[in-house]
Structure 1
Amino acid sequence: MPADLAVIGLGHLGLPLAQAATAAGVRTIGYDPDSRAADELRAGRLPTGAGDGSLTAAELRRMISGGFRTTTDPAELGRVRTAVICSPTPLGEDRRLDLSAVGEAARTLAGWLRPHTTVLLESTVYPGTTEEFLRPLLEEGSGLRAGRDFHLAYSPGRLDPGNRVYGYANTPKVIGGLTAACTEAAAAFYGRLTEKVVRARGPREAETVKVLETNYRHVNIALVNEMAAFCHDNGVDLWDVVRCAETKPFGFQSFRPGPGVGGHGAPIECDGMTHPQRGLGLPLRMVELAQQVNGRMPGYVTQRCTALLNEHGKSARGAHVLLLGVSYKPDVADEEGSPAREIAARLMELGAQLGYHDPYVPGWRVLGRPVPRADALYEAAAEADLTVLLQHHRTYDLQGLAAKAQLLLDTRGASPAGVHRL
């Protein structure tokens, strides 16, 4: 039986969408040109790097039993009513979004695109990408016209991996179509998966929603990261300041500092281009500054580590340092953009002897070398000269760690009073 939906790109956006669609009774296929990844998924195994760590192998097997299947045959894309492009758009060395995977997906889809199909883009992109980058590829490859022969719309990804309150069904879905009919076609699809659909004026507005939401997070984290250094230098307990400030019922939203900012939602500075012929106007200076502030945090954490060791008569060279939590957020396995790797690399370059623990990451390499994993957490903390909490997973008993560790630096402010905190 032909599928209703094709999800193109089975990563941190595509797999949760496929899971939600399958659970809603939508016949779904996942298209991935990588035959190895498709074979792994078909067998009920999550390939390395697939998803964000919040989808388990058991959940994947339930998806398969519910009718989800993967394919490497592009001809199957021509049999669906809706196709959603969820290809990755990582930052390149120039800190611009790499749209090559979106372009490849569009060219593949275009060769099989049928009239009346609804095409949706969920990848993180610059404003204007749907109309000026994706639309021409689809039209040239298919001979069809967007808005007349097929529907085209953009919807930003909004999932929060590991969030136990908000999932796909109860997180409003923003959509912006090329035409009013495109918007309604997108709304009809997403209305099957989520409780609320929010219609943007068009694809540019929907694309810019993602820019604003992502940059809002980074700018506010940068502010509290600067406050962390400011308060430490002035002998002020930042965590008490935040605790008090968040009681204000208006005009303030609480953010927490940390060792750096990771995840797939990289800040979008918008000084890049949607394609070589078009710039995006004035850059977002606040976002650029926030990126600089957040990018300095791994170095600042390393400095705090060396200062603590020195205060206790130890040098970083030869010190045994245990890093706790190396994923980018609590209770997921995803290491995308995690500051733990840079902190570990800096400590290794100073001559420290590293170990790590993370209940979700069974193996970890830094600078091409494996980092020993501590199996007995509390014994390892007791033996280490310095234990550094980088990620607060729910499984960590911080009261017990504080009692066992010789020296504990908590970069998340989650430990009891008396512990060294960022």
Structure 2
Amino acid sequence: MMKSLRSKIEDKTAKICIVGLGYVGLPLATEFAKRGFNVIGFDTSREKVEVLKNEIRAGALSENFKVTADPDIAYKNVNFIIICVPTPITKTKEPDLKYIISAAEGISRHLRKGMFVILESTTYPGTTEEVLIPILERSGLKAGFDFGVAYSPERIDPGNKKYTIKNTPKIVSGVTGECTDISAQLYAQITKPVKVSSLKVAEATKIVENVFRAVNIALVNELGLIFGRMGIDTWEVIEAASTKPFGFMPFYPGAGVGGHCIPIDPFYLSWKAKEVGLTTKFIELAGEINQSMPNHVINLVIRGLNDVGKSVKGSKIFILGMAYKKDVDDTRNSPMVEVAKSLIELGAVVRYNDQYVNTVAIKDKVLKSEPIESVHDSDCVIIGTAHSYYNKEKILTYLTEKIVLIDCVNFFNPIEVKNIQIYKKVGSGNAN
């Protein structure tokens, strides 16, 4: 079985199925297709599938890449199945593995000898062995003997043009040593694989990467609150500290953390730690700090409007950038969505501009992106995401002297906005 898979990888006759065609699965599928593999993408969203079919017809995607919403078609005659589905958390911040479980149940019904299943979804250590494999073995087949299993955490950074799948090393580990070798051989076709000793080590590696970022972001957010009260610009402090060529890595304050990984993954580890009788105080505190930052932005808006004799209720507030990071269309856990929601609840009239996000649903409202020049008649403008297409000089021409300007991303410096009456920057002395 394993020898056959190795041969199919070498001569590129291996048929690969990617389950989940989001920010992780779609780039992975297209990269394998570019390298000459026959790839079929499976997603339960028929709307997404139809969009991708149109892109394939138009030549925007490789002809080696097919898509379907039919599992019978997706799993037919495939050699490798790579699971790239979301792993959210519940309202009580516990792991929600429903998408992994659903994918595993569907695969189990189509599993046959000689197939190989790889999980890429970020999750807590033990998921592959404790959740995925038992479901797959309902087929009557044995993992590591009748079919292969491996875990290889995704390392996709949406919008990052410097580090892509091709030049970002890929952690891999299988249920057996041979499974590790085969999964490494597969990923070696598109990137550099890095073998680790066990499935749990591979799962823990991804969690550590995101916990590291979450904790450090929380640290600078707290420093921003402290230094802001002291009249110190945290951004300038960090830039100065960054001149040290060793022992320091820069992180920056902001309105909070967004996306799928940083706001969620630390809680996967916290939950698993409780299972072994430990409490992750440090990690949970970091999560609390990061989640509190949108409220800090709201307080800046309230104080800024108060300084010009206005209340939030009835005020026109314009947000520049609704996505969670620059130059992407992803609003998952975006701090600006949370800020907009709170402002609407306080009675504000909220509008926004983001060419990457055409619409955003907030409570019972659907907001539509408006032209940047629409900021000119606002009472308050929030710079939420520093998209590359935002031009400082052009934006300043639309801002009146009496406008309240809240800068969450260090978009401006005080000299550039010296004519703006109220300018408050997150992490700066003028934000208190």
The aligned runs of 1:144-183 (5 Å cut-off) are: 144-183=141-180
Q: Secondary structure at the match of 1:341?
A: helix
Which residue is 1:11 aligned to? 22
Is this contact kept in 2: 1:118–1:185, CA < 8 A? no
Q: Does 1:421 find its partner at 2:425? A: yes
- Looking at structure 2, the residues matched to 322 and 216 of structure 1 have their Cα atoms a distance apart, in angstroms, of 33
Match of 1:396 in 2: 390
User: Residues of 1 paired with 2:49 and 2:368: CA distance?
Assistant: 31
User: Which of these residues, 71, 74, 77, is aligned with residue 73 of structure 1?
Assistant: 71
Instruction: For 1:33 and 1:356, locate their aligned partners in 2 and report how far apart those are by CA, in whole Å.
Output: 31
Mean alpha-carbon deviation: is it higher for 310-319 or for 148-157?
Answer: 310-319
Distance (Å, rounded) in 2 between the aligned partners of 1:399 and 1:409: 17
Amino acid at match of 1:207: E
Distance 1:129 1:280, change over 3 A: farther
Alpha-carbon displacement from aligned partner over 1:89-136 (angstroms, at most 9, x marks no partner):
111112122111111111211222222222100011110011111111
| Bigger shift: residues 358-367 or 229-238 | 358-367
| 1:19-418 alignment, distance < 5 Å | 19-44=30-55, 61-74=59-72, 76-141=74-139, 143-194=140-191, 196-265=192-261, 266-269=264-267, 270-272=269-271, 279-371=275-367, 373-375=369-371, 377-378=372-373, 380-405=374-399, 406-418=403-415
1:317-375 Cα distance to aligned partner (Å, 9 max, x none): 22211111001111011111101121112212222221111111112232211335422
Supply the distance in 2 between the matched residues of 1:76 and 1:317 (Cα, whole angstroms): 52
Of stretches 69-78 and 19-28 in structure 1, the one that deviates more from structure 2 is: 69-78
State the alpha-carbon separation in 1 of the partners of residues 317 and 259 from structure 2.
24
Equivalent-residue separation in structure 1 for 2:368 and 2:332 (angstroms) = 20
Mapped contact 1:271–1:280 kept (Cα < 8 A):
no
C-alpha distance in structure 2 between counterparts of 1:33 and 1:240, whole Å: 47
**Greater mean deviation of Cα atoms: 333-342 or 305-314:** 305-314
Give the superposition deviation at 1:13.
1.8
Structure 2: distance between partners of 1:84 and 1:124: 13
Distance of 2:73 and 2:376 partners within structure 1: 58
- With structure 1 as the length reference, what TM-score do the two structures score? 0.90
Contact preservation (8 Å) 1:156, 1:210 = yes
Paired residue secondary structure (2:118): strand
Please, which runs of 5 or more residues in structure 2 have no aligned partner? Answer: 1-11, 418-423, 427-432
Query: 1:11: how far off?
Result: 1.9
Change in CA separation of 1:231 and 1:399 when aligned onto 2, cut-off 3 Å? farther
Query: What secondary structure sits across from 1:225 in the alignment?
Result: helix
Unaligned 5+ segments in structure 1 are 46-56
**Distance across 1 between alignment mates of 2:255 and 2:123:** 27
2:74 and 2:157 map into 1 onto residues whose CA distance is 30
Q: Distance in 2 between matches of 1:303 and 1:288?
A: 23
Amino acid at match of 1:288: E
Q: In 1, Cα distance between the equivalents of 2:142 and 2:276?
A: 25
CA RMSD of aligned residues (A): 2.1
Match of 1:53 in 2: none
Deviation at 1:285, TM superposition (A): 1.9
Q: Which amino acid aligns with 2:376?
A: A
The 3 A distance-change label for structure 1 pair 76 and 320 is: closer
CA separation of 1:147 and 1:281: change in aligned 2, threshold 3 A: farther
Deviation at 1:280, TM superposition (A): 4.2
Opposite residue 301 of structure 2, the aligned amino acid is C
Distance change >3 Å, CA 75–CA 364, structure 1 → 2 = closer
User: Counterpart of 2:215 in 1: which secondary structure?
Assistant: helix
What is the count of residue pairs matched by the alignment? 402
8 Å Cα contact 1:89/1:123 also seen in 2: yes
Deviation at 1:75, TM superposition (A): 5.3
1:233 deviation in Å? 1.0
Q: In percent, how many aligned pairs have the same letter?
A: 36
- Following superposition, the deviation at residue 30 of structure 1 comes to 1.0
Once residues 130 and 210 of structure 1 are traced to their aligned partners in structure 2, the CA distance between those partners, rounded to angstroms, is: 14
Does the 8 Å contact 2:259/2:333 carry over to 1? yes
After superposition, the Cα gap between the structure-2 partners of 1:344 and 1:324, relative to the gap in structure 1 and judged at 3 Å, is: same
> In the superposition, relative to structure 1, how do residues 268 and 22 fare at CA in structure 2: closer, same or farther (>3 Å)?
same
CA distance in 2, matches of 1:30, 1:135: 22
CA distance in 2, matches of 1:139, 1:395: 50
Contact 2:358 2:368 in 1 (8 A): no
Encode CA deviations 1:197-255: one digit per residue, 9 max, x unaligned.
Answer: 11111110000011101111111111111111111111111111111011111111101
User: Following the alignment from structure 1 to structure 2, what is the Cα–Cα distance between the partners of residues 97 and 16?
Assistant: 25
Q: Is the 8 A contact 1:127 1:205 kept in 2?
A: yes
Q: What is the rounded CA distance, in whole Å, between the counterparts of 1:73 and 1:345 in structure 2?
A: 38
Question: Closer, same or farther in 2 for the Cα pair 1:2/1:251, shift >3 Å?
Answer: closer
Which residue does 2:429 correspond to in 1?
A: none
- In structure 2, what is the Cα distance between the partners aligned to 1:251 and 1:333? 34
